Structure 1
Amino acid sequence: MLGRARASAPSWGRETARLRGHEASGPDPRGRPARVRSPIGAQDGEKGLQLTGDLRDAAPHQGLLVGDRGVERESDHIGVVGQSPVRRCRQGDTRYGQAAVAVVGDVGSAATLSILRFLERNGFPVTALEITEPDTLQFLRNRDVDSSRQKFPLVVHGQGKILENPAIEVLAEHLGIREELRSGDEVADLAIVGAGPAGLAAAVHGASEGLRTLVLEAEAPGGQAGSSSMIENYLGFPLGVSGQDLAARAENQAQKFGARIALPRRVAGLDCAGPPFTLRMEDGDTVRARSLVIATGAHYRRLDLPDVARFEGSGIQYAATAVEARLCAGEEVVVGGANSAGQAAVFLSKQARHVHLLVRGPAPALKISHYLQERVQASDRISVHVHTRLTALDAARHLDTAHWGDTRTGTGTARKVAGVFLMTGATPNTAWLGDCLETDRDGFLCTGAQVTRHTDAFTRRRAHDLETSVPGIFAVGDVRAESVKRVASAVGEGSVVVPAVHQVLGEQAAPQDGSRVREPRPHHAPTGAPR
């Protein structure tokens, strides 16, 4: 059944279309043709109908279409959400030659792994091809590529598009997922820095409540939690959910309500003399917003070992995803005593011959949830070493040997390993803020009652629980001092910060003489917003 579709972008970067029947074709906002297909078995008027868009002649190349304006009332209205990770994973063919991207190079090198990680975390079907394999050389010859003259890794996309060792920003631009920022032209109601669970939750609730919401993410949705292979104690997922899948669902949900998610966009600085506040991107672009939510999370602490930087990305890893697991065939080492370390050990044990979990303290010092402890203890492919420290690493071409010792007896052990996964401690991602906001001695952002800096605004009212030392700037999730380092807690903070944001925006709009002002009408948000 064929019909017509017309797409437009009336406001905040969204496209809308009206469809009749299951299939439609019509111009995209740039006037180029676009075809829209419905899934097999879709029924007219089906609630929650998700349509996939094939925009091969448009940018982005493809898009996910989700219900808009309430599918219960107007099921033929849809919203176009560009470059959704869930859509890419479901539509993409992991075999090169369809929608996949091929990465050619030394698959154990830091440069190749960085590209693979970016593509997989952002949902692109990708094939990794080892440059020394005969099949890979034939693959290049078939495309008239002289391997002796190339700078590896190569990214091969489509039938003839080849990028030599591209920067992540260049790769994102080539694939059509780099969001263009309108520097200086618009002021967002709410800008969120970081698209982990806390940031995405704030985006969902901010956009669904009518705020013009912009999310800035340096790498991929999900943050540190996005690298979790399986989260089994998150409400509503009895069989568990991967961090990447959870983030993809949240990203789609935020976009459905009109939030813009810009990546890869790394924020390099903040001018907190606002509102509006000004965020400076690493590439020089700027973003202005009336309120900010800092949700940049934390990263694992680097070990104090000689030449540790030499091994990072090509032996030392800070995430255990499918990208890293490909290289795990022998023995591996996981360092850490919290849930992330336990999840990594269980996940890697499915691929590796054996996993050694090194814990600095005694067994009771393990901060792993009970269900994970049972998994670890039940596996004959995981050994837990308590009172143990990693002491040295050796390598020829790549990391090949790890040394550790018992802190009680001084006994040392050396094992041939392919990788060491570090999941110890937490260092907040706050260096880019300078001294703009108050932090504790470890660099985590102080909020609410923790704030000791005095400002004029806080002489008239108390800081909100999640508000930093600058009125109108909030912190949620792992970046916040004394926060609970759990996905559910981060989602909760991202959700409850929005009412405080609304209150601050209302204060900004209030006249100085104290007279009552009519609140501005928020921009359109679809029905079905959470309450």
Structure 2
Amino acid sequence: MNKPIILTVDDDPDVLQAIARDLRRQYGDRHRIMKADSGTAALEILKQLTLRNETVALFVVDQRMPQMSGVEFLEQACAIFPAAKRVLLTAYADTDAAIRAINIARLDYYLLKPWDPPEEKLYPVLDDLVDDWRANFHPEFQGIRVIGDRWSAESHRIKDFLARNQIPYRWLDIERNTDAPKLLTYAGIATPSFPVVLFGDGEHQVKPTNLQIAEKIGLQTQANNPFYDLIIIGGGPGGLAAAVYGASEGLRTVMIEREAPGGQAGTSSRIENYLGFPVGLSGGDLARRAVTQAKRFGVEILTPQEATAIRVENDYRIVTLADGSELTGHAVILALGVAWRRLTVPGIEKFTGAGIYYGAAQTEAIACKDEEVFVVGGANSAGQAAMYFSQFARKVTMLVRGDSLTKSMSQYLIDQIAETSNIEVQTDASVIEAKGESRLEALVIENSQTGEVQTLPAKSLFIFIGAVPYTDWLDELLHRD
């Protein structure tokens, strides 16, 4: 965590230097001391601190300043950092004004100038205030913040990318979060185009690509070397296992992953039948462990990066990447994994990312708190998602095309679903249309046995209907069945 800040404001440069010196001597080991020569300059500092997600513990402010008095500054400052303690520096002639201002600016203390010696007249007061602030301080999340609309496909894409790459972030819904408009104002974004990504250094990106985010946060997107013993295309469990075994044998190894290490398995909310984990684990945990193991052996992991072509020249394999760069190696392993099978009925494509999602259980679950969630599918992925959503949603309705779960789902999951009171399973049920204006608002569901058609209000539909191999781009290189 960054050091909490003590900000002192005074228009007299000598006084400002002196108070900053005394503050740094007593509190510099635990706090960052900042200074400003006017209330206007100090407010600009506070806006930048907000964008960087830093916090202020204490204001030490002169009362008599041109253009903006200390009390006027504190009135505005406490709206930005309401938990910060407030101290006003006054001369004898300002004492009455300071006392009257206690209620206006909610002052914690006022100090008379001069404060020498600080060991007697300054530090005892500030020690109490700083200790009190620390006792009640709950650190804010420090990291990436994403501001957007819940029903925006672009917002979902960014949240999903960050979540799958194990990058902590805080989601700020522009419709629900009161901090979001304020942050946009501080960032100078007058007419925002969502989503907006705020980074810890105060910089921001508007509607960035996954690659732009990756480069900003330090994910490796380019190879360090032109030649490798082993090039692995695909970063799911198979690709990660190959990377670990190859690198552990001393092969110079690089792995190329187009979205996030872990592949489709990495999106699973719970895996309970993976060898070696008797109590189960999430797909994200499995991916994190595998990535750590691979990197320990020196594997380079390029993400998000995509292979677009492979050719053979003499004894070498040359892989072309989406950005036009090339990697050469002795051997290439294709661990391409799969892509979600698409549901092709009216309305699905229109609302994908705006209420309709493939996978993405962990990314969107919290947003579905106390709502009804629909899950399409009858295999393990659908069952695991339903169990995960049941922790947040008021009700989870599984829409299963078959007449039971037993033909496609593991028995342990069937038993768990049966024991979960807020999960309902509708068999012989198919979605035949999704309706809405700018987002999903209703589903049309048909029973294949009775022919009954019903239209149900819906905000969220998650689709788990299997997968297809991600091999289309290999048509010119390999014969596929």
Q: What TM-score, normalized by structure 1, do the two folds share? A: 0.62
SS in 1 for 2:298: coil
Deviation at 1:424, TM superposition (A): 0.8
Greater RCO, 1 or 2 (C-alpha within 8 Å, sep 6+): 1
User: Could you say what the CA RMSD is over the residues aligned between the two structures, in angstroms?
Assistant: 1.9
- The within-5 A match list for 1:161-240 is 161-182=203-224, 186-240=226-280
Answer yes or no: is 1:402 the counterpart of 2:443. Answer: yes
2:192 is matched with 150
For the 8 Å contact 1:359–1:366, the answer to whether it is kept is no
Give me the whole-angstrom Cα distance separating, in 1, the residues matched to 2:429 and 2:180: 44
Are the counterparts in 2 of residues 107 and 129 from structure 1 also a CA contact under 8 Å?
Answer: no
One-letter code of the match for 1:388? Answer: A
Q: How far 1:274 moved relative to its partner?
A: 5.3
Between the aligned partners of 1:363 and 1:274, the Cα distance in structure 2 is 54
Aligned to 1:426: 467
Q: Over alpha carbons, which structure has the higher Rg?
A: 2
In 2: Cα distance, 1:198 partner to 1:96 partner? 39
Partner of 1:297: 337
User: 1:495 is matched with which residue?
Assistant: none
Is this contact kept in 2: 1:331–1:416, CA < 8 A? no
Aligned to 1:436: 477
- The residue that corresponds to 2:293 in the other structure is 253
The equivalent position to 2:143 in structure 1, one of 100, 105, 108, is: 100
Aligned residues of 1:349 and 1:381 also touching (Cα < 8 A): yes
1:324: how far off?
A: 1.2
Contact 2:157 / 2:353 at 8 angstroms: preserved in 1? yes
- Structure 2 residue aligned with 1:476: none
Q: CA deviation at 1:307?
A: 3.5
Distance apart, 1:284 and its partner CA: 0.9
Unaligned runs of 5+ in 2: 1-137
Which residue pairs with 2:157 in the alignment?
114
Question: 1:210: Cα distance to partner?
Answer: 1.1
Per-residue deviation at 1:285? Answer: 1.2
Summarize the Cα distance change of 1:307–1:414 in structure 2 as closer, same or farther, 3 Å threshold. Answer: closer
Contact 1:97–1:159 at 8 Å: present in 2 too?
Answer: no
User: How many residue pairs are counted as aligned between the two chains?
Assistant: 343
Classify the secondary structure of the residue corresponding to 2:367: coil
Query: Contact between 2:273 and 2:280, CA under 8 Å: does it hold in 1?
Result: yes
> Is the Cα–Cα contact under 8 Å of residues 348 and 433 in structure 2 kept in the other structure?
no
Tell me how far apart the structure 2 counterparts of residues 369 and 211 of structure 1 sit (CA, whole Å). Answer: 38
**2:166 alignment counterpart:** 123
* Counterpart-to-counterpart distance in 2, 1:246 and 1:389: 32
Q: How does 1:110-509 map to 2 (within 5 A)?
A: 110-133=153-176, 135-140=178-183, 143-146=186-189, 148-182=190-224, 186-272=226-312, 275-329=315-369, 330-363=371-404, 366-440=407-481
Q: In the alignment, what sits opposite 1:518?
A: none
**d(CA) in 2 for partners of 1:196, 1:206:** 15
Does the 8 Å CA contact 2:244/2:293 hold for their aligned counterparts? yes
Shift of 1:253: 0.4
Quote the Cα distance in structure 2 between the aligned partners of 1:437 and 1:243. 30
2:374 partner amino acid: V
Q: SS at 2:239's partner residue? A: helix
Q: Which position in structure 2 is the counterpart of 1:443?
A: none
- Checking the alignment, whether the CA contact within 8 Å between 1:96 and 1:102 is kept in structure 2 is no
Q: Which has the higher helix share?
A: 2
Percent identical among aligned pairs is 38
Amino acid at match of 2:240: L
What is the distance in 1 between the residues matched to 2:313 and 2:395? Answer: 53
> Match of 1:173, SS?
helix
Residue identity matched to 1:154: V
Amino acid at match of 2:348: V
Cα distance in 1 for residues equivalent to 2:213 and 2:187: 21
Which AA in structure 2 matches 1:409?
T
User: How much does 1:362 deviate?
Assistant: 1.7
Pair 416,366 (structure 1): closer, same or farther in 2 beyond 3 Å: farther
Distance 1:410 1:280 in 2: 51
Deviation at 1:438, TM superposition (A): 2.0
Aligned partners of 1:187 and 1:276 also within 8 Å: no
- Whether contact under 8 Å (1:169, 1:178) holds in the other structure is no
Instruction: Write the letter of the residue equivalent to 2:223.
Output: L
Partner deviation per Cα, 1:193-237 (whole Å, 9 max, x = no partner): 111001000011110011111100011111000010111121222
**Which aligned segments of 4 or more residues in structure 1 are displaced greater than 4 angstroms?**
95-98
Distance, in Å, in 1 between the alignment partners of 2:264 and 2:372 is 24
Asked if the contact 1:195/1:220 (under 8 Å) is kept, the reply is yes
Structure 2 CA distance, aligned partners of 1:327 and 1:229?
15
Contact 1:220 1:264 in 2 (8 A): yes
Alpha-carbon shift at residue 405 of structure 1 (Å) = 0.9
Distance 1:396 1:314 in 2: 10
Structure 2 contact 433–445 (Cα < 8 Å) conserved: yes
Structure 1 partner of 2:102? none
Q: TM-score, normalised by structure 2?
A: 0.68
Contact 2:231–2:253, Cα closer than 8 Å, also in 1 = yes
CA contact (8 A) 1:221 1:247 kept: yes
Q: Residues 147 and 180 of structure 2 are in contact (CA less than 8 Å); yes or no, is this contact kept in structure 1?
A: no
The verdict on how the C-alpha distance between 1:275 and 1:305 changes in structure 2, with shifts beyond 3 A counting, is: farther
Distance in 2, matches of 1:388 and 1:149, equals 44
Q: Return the alpha-carbon distance in structure 1 between the equivalents of residues 174 and 439 of structure 2.
A: 15
- Separation in 1, partners of 2:176, 2:373: 24
Measure, in 1, the Cα distance between the counterparts of 2:304 and 2:445: 37
The structural deviation recorded for 1:433 is 1.2
Deviations 1:288-332 (A, max 9, x none): 121111111112211121242211122221114332112213211
2:167 alignment partner AA:
F
**Structure 1 unaligned regions, length at least 5:** 1-94, 441-531
What amino acid is aligned across from residue 104 of structure 1 in structure 2? I
The alpha-carbon distance between structure 1 residues 346 and 428, as it changes in their structure 2 partners (threshold 3 A), is: same
Shift of 1:104: 0.5
Deviations 1:486-520 (A, max 9, x none): xxxxxxxxxxxxxxxxxxxxxxxxxxxxxxxxxxx
The CA distance in 1 between the partners of 2:458 and 2:209, in whole Å, is: 30
Q: How many angstroms does 1:137 deviate by?
A: 3.9
